[in-house]
Structure 1
Amino acid sequence: MSELILDKYISYIKNEKELTSNTLEAYMTDLKQFKDYLTENNIDKLKDVNKTIIIKYLMYLQKSGKATSTIARRLASIRCFYQYLLNHSLIKEDPTHNLRSPRCERKLPDILTKNEVDILLSQPSEDNFKGVRDKAMLELLYATGIRVSELIALNMDNLNTKLGYLCLEEGNQISRIVPISNIALKHLTNYIDNYRKKVLKAEQKNILFLNYSGNRLTRQGFWKIVRKYSKKANINKKITPHTLRHSFAVHLLQTGADVRMVQEILGHSNISTTQIYSLTDDTKKLKDIYKKLHPRK
């Protein structure tokens, strides 16, 4: 593989494709490693690379223990490179044509049991600003399944405490309406009525969740909050803010909620994204049946 052609291609994707620096770095790394493989196998000319060689390379990656997602990305990088070569008449055929990318396994999300959720949410104290705010945020996150970015971006006018729902916005339009449980609403009302005003600044009066300085709590700040209470709860699982979103979805489905209703609440554009939560529950049921019925338990 010619260094000159490779440099021209890198320049092309850098200037024409407007890729992010991370994506560009990934493309460059993938192609360099493919080039090293070709060199080690005494393949120096682009015209000598055919479909069989690329398949062998993918098999080599698999035997080396590379993840399916990594192999799929490597193939995508190689495919883009050969499409560039074909479009610039540097080769006559694209050796990646009709090569199927390996299917990535859908990773089941980590979830908490209902008891573990109760333990986690019971950790914040309820007699000071920070504890009451943290309690309200955790309860609201589990009650609604909203994203962390949505949680910290909430303003007072996104909230209707009388009817008990959140009105979430995307741009200048309403994206979805999310109901709030009575328990979460109770803790949220306590925070707003009795503690939020203690740090409230006039210019920040619309922000819902504030830090001690009276400014909007950051994403990083909330991650620290979750990490603190997870450690305090002594739950032997890796817990992130997203874990509560996952748990919310699975627990709803376990109690008989329709998958399309959960999709709407979570704001998933594709129902297949929501269906993975059903898979989590089905997998647990399958394991339970297996343990009961298999002759060698």
Structure 2
Amino acid sequence: MNQDIHPFLSHLKATRHLAANSLDGYRRDLEDLSRELQAHHDIVLTADIKPHHLSAYIHRLKEQGRTNATISRRIVSFKAFFQFALETGLTAANPSLRLAAPKAERKSPRALSLSDVERLLEAPDLSDEAGIRDRAMLETLYATGMRVTELTNLNVEDVRTDLRLLACRGTGGRERMIPISSMCRDWMIKYMQEARPRLLRDGAVEHALFVSHLGSRMTRQGFWKLIKKHAASAGVSTEVTPHTLRHSFAYHLVDNGADLRSVQEMLGHTDLTATQVYQPSSKAKLRDVYDSFHPRNRGGQDDAQE
């Protein structure tokens, strides 16, 4: 099976234009399956894999305590791979047809309070160029709700500070325009004028907007470490990742009355249901709206106490 994984990933890259991170996810899922099949069933050929082999593998994942989300993702990987194997003659039958994803665990994304966001944004030390860069990156992430890969993939030409817009390339190469706040624009200008030139190596030509101390494009892993450091120094007790600011961006917009369609477009969600997870935090307002505006409501909680 191992020898068939690379052609499959090449097929995905050519036909679905997936990002490198997505391709890595497929690769890890399939390589783990390959190892398990060889260890438990002495199977090395894709053509020898049967439905009961896949069922046994999924059962082992459940025994290991893997989440439903992890199992569902692996099933998606397997279904795509074996469909490719069938179409290319690597197997005579698709053994993944009867695999069913477990029921999704509906969890509300974790977001920061406004006060925690403020403390996090103000955490970088602005006495040097790295601190100014970090502040600009944090402001941009919270102002746009970008994914961390979208943030680190930004180039200088993607920024229109005069229009307060960023051009963002999302999953599948789709591009969207995202507005930024005036505060984010101001920090972006400060970074580009004062900090970025000092971070670049003399004479170097670098298109990346955000660069590391080496003068090259900031990596997602590098920014992950930075946001962890600033969250700790700010005393934010909630676990903070780059995606936490994305969730906070969406929650705070919806809480302040933004419509879901607009938030969906800014987040780059292809399906509105992915954006609807941010709605529950606003439902607490429904009683106040009802009590204030329904003509037949006379006293709200006072009536309930009588």
The residue aligned with 2:68 is 68
Q: Secondary structure at the match of 1:168?
A: strand
Q: Cα offset for 1:118?
A: 0.6
The residue aligned with 2:22 is none
The residue aligned with 2:252 is 251
CA distance in 1 between partners of 2:231 and 2:134 (Å): 12
Q: Cα offset for 1:140?
A: 0.8
Segments of structure 2 that go 5 or more residues without pairing to the other structure are 11-25, 43-49, 287-300, 302-306
Q: Please, which moves more after superposition, 27-36 or 228-237?
A: 27-36
The residue aligned with 1:216 is 217
The residue aligned with 1:133 is 133
1:27 corresponds to 2:28: no
CA distance in 2 between partners of 1:96 and 1:59 (Å): 14
State percent identity of aligned pairs: 35
Q: Cα offset for 1:275?
A: 1.6
Q: Secondary structure at the match of 2:258?
A: coil
CA distance in 2 between partners of 1:76 and 1:223 (Å): 26
The residue aligned with 2:163 is 163
- Is 2:210–2:217's contact at 8 Å kept on the other side of the alignment? yes
> What aligned pairs does 1:1-297 form with structure 2 within 5 A after superposition?
10=1, 21-28=27-34, 67-69=67-69, 73=74, 88=92, 100-169=100-169, 175-200=175-200, 201-279=202-280, 281=281
Q: Return closer, same or farther for 1:16/1:254 CA change in 2, 3 Å cut-off.
A: same
CA distance in 2 between partners of 1:32 and 1:107 (Å): 35
Tell me the number of residue pairs that the alignment of Structure 1 and Structure 2 aligns: 259
Segments of structure 1 that go 5 or more residues without pairing to the other structure are 1-9, 37-48, 287-291, 293-297
Q: Return closer, same or farther for 1:162/1:30 CA change in 2, 3 Å cut-off.
A: same
Q: Secondary structure at the match of 1:256?
A: coil
The one-character-per-residue Cα deviations of 1:237-273 (angstroms, maximum 9, x if unpaired) are: 2111111111101111111111111111111122222
Q: Return closer, same or farther for 1:135/1:58 CA change in 2, 3 Å cut-off.
A: closer
Q: Return closer, same or farther for 1:207/1:99 CA change in 2, 3 Å cut-off.
A: closer
- Is 2:255–2:282's contact at 8 Å kept on the other side of the alignment? no
Q: Secondary structure at the match of 1:167?
A: strand
User: What is the root-mean-square deviation of aligned Cα atoms in Å?
Assistant: 4.2
Q: Return closer, same or farther for 1:119/1:69 CA change in 2, 3 Å cut-off.
A: closer
- Is 2:136–2:187's contact at 8 Å kept on the other side of the alignment? yes
1:195 partner letter? A
CA distance in 2 between partners of 1:169 and 1:75 (Å): 24
Instruction: State TM-score, norm by structure 2.
Output: 0.67
Q: Return closer, same or farther for 1:122/1:77 CA change in 2, 3 Å cut-off.
A: closer
Q: Secondary structure at the match of 1:246?
A: helix
Q: Return closer, same or farther for 1:15/1:206 CA change in 2, 3 Å cut-off.
A: closer
Instruction: State TM-score, norm by structure 1.
Output: 0.69
Q: Return closer, same or farther for 1:252/1:13 CA change in 2, 3 Å cut-off.
A: same
- Is 1:30–1:77's contact at 8 Å kept on the other side of the alignment? no
